[in-house]
Each structure stands twice: as structure tokens, then as C-alpha cells.
């Protein structure tokens, strides 16, 4: 009899990172996959589903404008409980560190449904950074039965917290599966942005700095300092193009558009679908970001990344020398970016391909471990 695996995700990064696993599990013998989108994100999630040709079996449509963490959590808990009641999964798979991840885990735990945590074991050690993600992933880890750790460092974090070794599988990160798949697709199709895309306005041969930023702990003063740094850099380097796909969170939109609108060489654009964003990362000279996923993708493409945060849960990226933490102080961001733009040697030291997050086969590793987990569980039930 097939085992029902219920995959739950709700935001853009979860969907990008679960999409390759969904493709694998859909075809896996003995597994009946049910995909539930909580709809924590709307447009930004739709973009991912379209890019990967993925359809969900259920959409809980929880997103509201400017949602609060507690309001969102309440709606998720209520709707997920009903979804679990209806689907009766053998296991629930959640991803990473969002409110969807933790609440989907909690709702499953309350119903005695086992939980598999994909992208488990990332830690900064600081509950305030990133906020609330560090708490979400730790809390999910406490509830999970199976931990799919992307790296050995993540496994070691879990071991230190008392998770038994046999509950952990080091798999690589499925984001590399997604990235390599999309890059191949773009290359094979000789893909270019359409003529009506704002990206078609980018001038060939000019250097481009790609920016993303949305972290809650940077809201307010942090965002203001980041935007002032970008304004200063755009003035200093009129021959460099700055492209910022602005996250749809209203707090981010307000902060970014109020400081950076109306400047010739700053292109503020809507969130890009995954085809366009991978194309942008490939085209970029430097990437400035506070995103988690981009810190994993950019080194695989050999792009230097300056991380607009004080700490990272992805130390493997730092060790390769392709990713550097620069924080959110205006002066430091301007100095570090200027160095990469002015000093070819400093640039060359960071522009190297580095792949600590896997070989593009993380999804198969996860599926195999899941299959073994079902076998072990079924055997122990037969023995009982």
C-alpha cells in the first residue's frame, strides 16, 4: 500500500526548495504525494509554481495584507488541523524556518503525525537574528522525527542539541537541485528576458549589482542604512547598474521606494520569477543580499556575495571566501562594495565557484531516506 506524504509550504523560498523534491516524490514508487500550500505568500508563490510547472493539491489561502505573525499563526494552525484531518498523512514534510514550517510542524505534532524537516539544523545561535526564523527552525527541530540536514555542520548542530544520529540524514540542499535544473533549462533554451521585461533595459557590457533584502530584523533603521548605501553607490558609480527586485512585504516596499525611486542607474523592479532571477544572478557582477537562499545559490554560480546581516546560519558559504558578512552600516556597505568594484584582485578572490551545499541530487537522497524510514516503521509495526 502506498504511503501518503504530505508536503506543506507557503512562501517563495520554501516552494523553490521543495519543488525539486516534489518532482522526485511524485514519481517515487510506493509514495502518494499530497502538496498543500498554506498560501502564506500569494503572488510570489504563484511565480514559483508556474516556473516549475508544479500544481498543488490544496491551497489554504491564508495570506492577508501586512499580516502579523500571531494572526498568521492562528489561521495556519486552524486550517492545517482541518487539512490533516482530511488527508490523514503518514508523514508531513516541512521546510526550513518560516511561520508555515513551524506551525505545520506543531499542528502535525498535535495530531501525532510524524514530521520530516527539510533543511534542518541551520543555526546562528542568536534567537533575534534572523528573527523569527532562528526560533522557527529550532522549534521545528524539536518536533521533527526525521532531519534532512544540508551539510555536516548542520548535522553537528543537531547532534549537539541531542538529536540521535540515526534520525539525521545529510542530503545537500535542494536549492542546488532547483538552481542547476533552472540554469540548464535557461541555457538549453538560450533564454533571455522578453522585450517588455524591465530587465531588457539593462545595458549590455555594463557591470550590474543585484540586490535583495527583506529581513524583519532589518526593518526601520537597518533598511534605511542599506538604502542610503545603495544611493551613495549609485552616485559614485554612474556606469554601474543596480537592480533591486523589491519584495512585496509592504514594510520593504515603503522603505525601498521612498529612498531609491527616481535614480537613473537604480532599477527597482517587481519580484522576479525564478527564470528571471537565476538569469539575473548569472548576469550579476556582485550580489548584495540578506536572503538565506541567495547565499547558497550565488557561490554555486561563482558570484561574490556581500551579506547585509551581522550573522549567518550558513558558515560553509563564508569558508569558501565567496560570501562575506558586511552588516547594515552604510559606510561599511559602501566601502566593501567599492572595493569589489575598484580592485580586480579583491574581486577575483571572491568570484569563484564554491559548492558546499550539495551536488544537485539532494531530493533523491531525501526520497531514499524517506523510503527507508517507511520500511523501518512498517517492519517495527509487524514485529510489535
Q: Give me the residues that bind ligand UD1 (CB under 6 A), please.
A: 11-13, 40-45, 63-67, 69, 72, 97-99, 132-133, 214, 248-250
**Quick one: which of 198, 271, 302, 321 contacts ligand UDP (CB under 6 A)?**
271
> Segment contacting ligand UDP (CB under 6 A): 60-68, 191-199, 289-297, 342-350?
289-297
**Residue 225 engages ligand UDP in binding (rule: CB under 6 A):** no
Q: Shortest Cβ distance from residue 290 to ligand UDP (Å)? A: 7
CA distance 166 to 327: 37
Question: For the window 2-21, what string marks contact with ligand UDP as x by the rule CB under 6 A?
Answer: ----------xx--x-----
**Residue 134 engages ligand UDP in binding (rule: CB under 6 A):** no
Beta strands in the chain (DSSP E): 3-9, 31-37, 58-59, 91-95, 115-118, 146-149, 168-170, 208-212, 241-245, 266-269, 286-289, 305-307, 323-325
**Quick one: which of 116, 245, 304, 358 contacts ligand UDP (CB under 6 A)?**
245
What is the three-class DSSP state of 34?
strand
List b or e across 60-95, with b for residues whose CB sees 16 or more CB atoms inside 10 angstroms.
bebbeeeeeeeebbebbeebbeebbeebebbbbbbb
Residue partners of 123: CB distance under 8 A and separation at least 6: 134, 137, 138, 154, 157, 313
Does residue 247 carry a catalytic annotation? Answer: yes
Question: For the window 183-222, what string marks contact with ligand UDP as x by the rule CB under 6 A?
Answer: -----------------------------x-x--------
What is the three-class DSSP state of 307?
strand
Of 133, 134, 217, 273, the active-site residue reads 133
- Pick what 294 binds: ligand UDP, ligand UD1, none; C-beta below 5 to 8 Å, kind-dependent: ligand UDP
Q: Shortest Cβ distance from residue 190 to ligand UD1 (Å)? A: 30
Please say which residue, 93 or 268, places its beta carbon nearer to ligand UDP: 268
Of 14, 119, 134, 177, the active-site residue reads 119
Residue partners of 33: CB distance under 8 A and separation at least 6: 5, 7, 22, 25, 26
Does residue 59 carry a catalytic annotation? Answer: no
| Contact present, 136 and 97 (Cβ < 8 Å) | yes
Ranked by CB distance to ligand UD1, the top (closest) residue is 98
Of residues 141 through 180, those in contact with ligand UDP by CB under 6 A are 175
Of 247, 276, 314, 354, the active-site residue reads 247
Task: Say if residue 46 is exposed, middle or buried (CB neighbours under 10 Å; 0-12, 13-18, 19+).
Answer: middle
CA distance 325 to 311: 7
Task: Say if residue 118 is exposed, middle or buried (CB neighbours under 10 Å; 0-12, 13-18, 19+).
Answer: buried
**Residue 358 engages ligand UDP in binding (rule: CB under 6 A):** no
Does residue 214 carry a catalytic annotation? Answer: yes
CA distance 321 to 324: 7
**Quick one: which of 141, 292, 299, 304 contacts ligand UDP (CB under 6 A)?**
292
**Residue 89 engages ligand UDP in binding (rule: CB under 6 A):** no
Q: Shortest Cβ distance from residue 213 to ligand UD1 (Å)? A: 11
DSSP conformation letters of 205-272: TS-EEEEE---GGGTTHHHHHHHHHHHHHHHH-TTSEEEEE--S-HHHHHHHHHHHTT-TTEEEEPPP
- Pick what 277 binds: ligand UDP, ligand UD1, none; C-beta below 5 to 8 Å, kind-dependent: ligand UDP
Does residue 42 carry a catalytic annotation? Answer: no
Of 137, 147, 214, 309, the active-site residue reads 214
Does residue 166 carry a catalytic annotation? Answer: no
Q: Shortest Cβ distance from residue 357 to ligand UDP (Å)? A: 12
- Pick what 299 binds: ligand UDP, ligand UD1, none; C-beta below 5 to 8 Å, kind-dependent: none
Task: Say if residue 216 is exposed, middle or buried (CB neighbours under 10 Å; 0-12, 13-18, 19+).
Answer: middle
CA distance 249 to 247: 6
Please say which residue, 28 or 102, places its beta carbon nearer to ligand UD1: 102
Residues contributing to the site for ligand UDP (CB under 6 A): 12-13, 16, 175, 212, 214, 245, 271-272, 274, 277, 291-294, 297
Show which residues are catalytic: 97, 119, 133, 214, 216, 247
Amino acid at each position: 500500500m502506498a504511503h501518503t506524504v504530505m508536503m506543506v509550504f507557503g512562501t517563495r523560498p520554501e516552494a523553490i526548495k521543495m519543488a525539486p523534491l516534489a518532482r522526485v516524490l511524485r514519481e517515487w514508487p510506493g509514495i502518494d504525494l499530497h502538496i498543500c500550500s498554506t498560501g502564506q505568500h500569494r503572488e510570489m508563490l504563484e511565480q514559483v509554481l508556474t516556473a516549475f510547472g508544479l500544481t498543488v493539491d490544496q491551497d489554504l489561502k491564508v495570506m492577508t495584507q501586512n499580516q502579523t505573525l500571531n494572526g498568521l499563526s492562528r489561521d495556519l494552525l486552524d486550517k492545517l488541523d482541518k487539512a490533516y484531518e482530511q488527508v490523514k498523512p503518514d508523514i508531513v514534510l516541512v521546510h526550513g524556518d518560516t511561520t508555515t514550517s513551524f506551525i505545520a510542524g506543531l499542528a502535525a505534532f498535535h495530531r501525532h503525525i510524524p514530521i520530516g524537516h527539510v533543511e534542518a539544523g541551520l543555526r546562528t545561535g542568536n534567537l533575534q537574528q534572523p528573527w523569527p526564523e532562528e526560533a522557527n527552525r529550532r522549534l521545528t527541530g524539536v518536533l521533527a522525527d526525521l532531519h534532512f540536514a544540508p551539510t555536516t555542520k548542520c548535522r553537528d548542530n543537531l547532534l549537539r542539541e541531542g538529536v540521535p544520529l540515526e534520525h539525521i540524514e545529510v542530503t545537500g540542499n535542494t536549492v542546488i537541485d532547483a538552481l542547476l535544473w533552472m540554469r540548464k533549462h535557461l541555457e538549453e533554451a538560450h533564454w533571455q528576458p522578453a522585450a517588455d521585461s524591465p530587465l531588457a533595459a539593462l545595458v549590455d557590457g555594463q557591470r550590474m549589482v543585484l540586490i535583495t533584502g527583506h529581513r524583519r530584523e532589518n526593518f526601520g533603521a537597518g533598511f534605511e542604512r542599506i538604502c542610503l548605501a545603495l544611493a551613495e553607490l549609485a552616485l559614485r558609480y554612474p556606469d554601474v547598474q543596480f537592480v533591486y527586485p523589491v519584495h512585496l512585504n509592504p514594510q520593504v516596499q515603503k522603505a525601498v521606494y521612498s529612498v531609491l525611486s527616481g535614480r537613473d542607474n537604480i532599477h527597482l523592479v517587481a519580484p522576479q520569477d525564478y527564470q528571471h532571477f537565476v538569469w539575473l544572478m548569472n548576469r550579476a557582477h556582485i550580489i548584495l543580499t540578506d536572503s538565506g537562499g541567495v547565499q547558497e545559490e550565488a557561490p554555486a554560480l561563482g558570484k561574490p556575495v556581500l551579506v547585509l546581516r551581522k550573522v549567518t546560519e550558513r558558515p560553509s558559504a563564508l569558508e569558501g571566501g565567496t560570501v562575506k558578512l558586511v552588516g547594515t552600516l552604510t559606510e561599511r556597505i559602501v566601502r566593501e562594495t567599492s572595493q569589489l568594484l575598484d580592485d580586480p584582485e579583491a574581486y577575483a578572490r571572491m568570484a569563484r565557484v564554491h559548492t558546499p551545499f550539495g551536488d544537485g541530487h539532494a531530493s533523491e537522497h531525501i526520497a531514499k531516506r524517506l523510503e527507508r524510514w517507511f520500511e523501518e516503521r512498517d517492519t517495527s509495526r509487524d514485529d510489535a
